[in-house]
């Protein structure tokens, strides 16, 4: 008899597949009994740390850009000679390998945490490393997103940003979390990837590995072990709904006739084609930072004008709201951001930078105006962080 669990649907869509549970971080046994042979305890600990480091290096070699350097830095931590000597000192003092490893990590964790919030990410890297080393020593599943080798429905207590960074939407058919909420990281990520998701599903983490579930991210339901006919019916209904939606077009409005513009956001050249193809009334937010990031100088007027022209031409006859440069804490620019800004998130950023660099805004507006004059789009300009 199929059982249906309910939660809050946070990302619409219907999908079915076998469950893969995300392993929780391993629990360090408080009563781990040392074997009484410090030499073998030490060998076990060192072998675990080497294995973790090797697997991180292997993942780093497959990961793109920034993710690769984060993984490589983590592999370096796993090979740290001072960490190793703390572990060795621990087992020689009569501790079990797993206890000595945990204590050594805790020492460094305290030191890094004491260095301030600046170190928060390194502390998280270190915690992940400890969990991997402990899982290796205990022979329990590695924490993190599972890789069963086929598409699956991911079930977790909750997802952290680090877990979701590597989620592959071709493999993850749906996401179910036992905790979380409508504004959680899981919800935001699932929506942006277009993966159906249901959160706060009590009992989800108790569903057996490999069990088939049918997930409805709109209704917020999870059917456990549904029969094939039910699955087929639900997936067919979903297809029919999508097809019906695709046949709808035209300006947006509420059911009582109040017009509401449906606008897309773009933040780079790669967004342009899919955004222009979408049935929208235009662009509600055209972020221009991508033109300015990762370069030592501002782009020239001509360079900017050419990009704006491409966007406006793609949205000929539609609305495009251009947001002027918003450089700041999360998007520092070499030629704009002040290194000693006391409040980088809310201080001199956005429009305020034009007090220091009026020429940047001047040039950007000129480029927008020139491109707008030569296009059929209805061009608007938005000033950020006024």
Partner 1 sequence: MPERRVVIGSKVGLHARPAAMFVQAAAKQPVKVTIAKSAGGDPVDARSILSVLALDARGGDEVVLAAEGDGADQALDELAALVARDLDSEG
Q: Which residues of this protein are in contact with partner 1, per CB under 8 A? A: 69, 72-73, 76-77, 80-83, 108, 111-112, 114-116, 118-119, 122, 126, 339
Smaller CB separation from partner 1, 152 or 292: 292
- Residue 57 CB, nearest approach to partner 1 (Å): 13
Q: How far is the CB of 340 from partner 1 (least distance, A)?
A: 11
Tokens 């079915």 -> residue: 16
Choice between 250 and 339, CB closer to partner 1 = 339
* Rounded least distance, CB 61 to partner 1, Å: 16
* Rounded CA separation 46/79 (Å): 9
- 198 DSSP β-pair partners: 9, 176
Smallest separation, CB 48 to partner 1 (Å): 17
Nearer to partner 1, 292 or 315 (CB): 292
Of 126 and 155, the one with the shorter C-beta distance to partner 1 is 126
CA torsion sign for 58, 59, 64, 65 is negative
Min CB(320)–partner 1 separation in Å: 36
Least distance to partner 1, CB of residue 282, Å: 40
Nearest CA to 188 out of 180, 283, 267, 203 is that of 180
Cβ 296 to partner 1 shortest distance, Å: 9
> Of the two residues 130 and 318, which places its CB atom closer to partner 1 in the complex?
130
Q: How far apart are CA 355 and CA 9, in angstroms?
A: 45
- Give whichever of 257 and 339 is closer to partner 1, judged by the CB atom: 339
Instruction: Give the residue with the Cβ less far from partner 1, 219 or 334.
Output: 334
């Amino acid at each position: 008899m199929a059982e249906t669990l309910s939660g809050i649907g946070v990302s619409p869509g219907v999908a079915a597949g076998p469950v893969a549970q995300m392993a929780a971080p391993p629990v360090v046994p408080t009563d781990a009994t040392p074997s009484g042979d410090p030499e073998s305890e030490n060998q076990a600990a060192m072998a675990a740390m080497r294995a973790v480091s090797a697997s991180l290096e292997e993942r780093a070699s497959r990961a793109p850009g920034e993710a690769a350097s984060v993984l490589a830095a983590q592999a370096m931590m796993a090979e740290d000679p001072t960490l190793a000597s703390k572990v060795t000192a621990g087992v020689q003092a009569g501790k079990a390998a797993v206890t000595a490893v945990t204590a050594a990590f805790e020492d460094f964790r305290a030191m890094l945490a004491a260095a301030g919030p600046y170190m928060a990410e390194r502390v998280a890297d270190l915690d992940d490393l400890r969990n991997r080393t402990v899982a290796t020593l205990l022979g329990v599943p590695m924490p993190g997103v599972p890789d069963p080798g086929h598409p699956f429905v991911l079930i977790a207590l909750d997802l952290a940003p680090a877990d979701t960074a590597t989620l592959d939407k071709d493999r993850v058919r749906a996401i179910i979390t036992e905790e979380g909420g409508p504004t959680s990281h899981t919800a935001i990520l699932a929506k942006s990837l277009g993966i159906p998701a249901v959160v706060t599903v009590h009992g989800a983490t108790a569903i057996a590995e490999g069990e088939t579930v049918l997930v409805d991210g709109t209704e917020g339901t999870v059917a456990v072990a549904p029969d094939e006919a039910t699955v087929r019916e639900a997936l067919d209904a979903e297809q029919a709904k999508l097809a019906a939606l695709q046949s709808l077009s035209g300006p947006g409005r509420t059911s009582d006739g109040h017009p509401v513009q449906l606008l897309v956001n773009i933040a780079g050249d790669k967004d342009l084609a899919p955004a222009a193809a979408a049935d929208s009334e235009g662009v509600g937010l055209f972020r221009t930072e991508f033109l300015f990031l990762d370069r030592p100088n501002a782009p020239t007027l001509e360079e900017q004008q050419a990009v704006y022209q491409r966007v406006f031409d793609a949205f000929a006859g539609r609305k495009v709201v251009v947001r002027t440069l918003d450089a700041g804490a999360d998007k520092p620019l070499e030629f704009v951001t002040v290194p000693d800004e006391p409040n980088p998130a809310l201080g001199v950023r956005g429009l305020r930078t034009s007090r220091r660099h009026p020429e940047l805004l001047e040039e950007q507006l000129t480029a927008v105006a020139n491109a707008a004059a030569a296009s059929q789009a209805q061009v608007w300009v938005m000033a950020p962080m006024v």
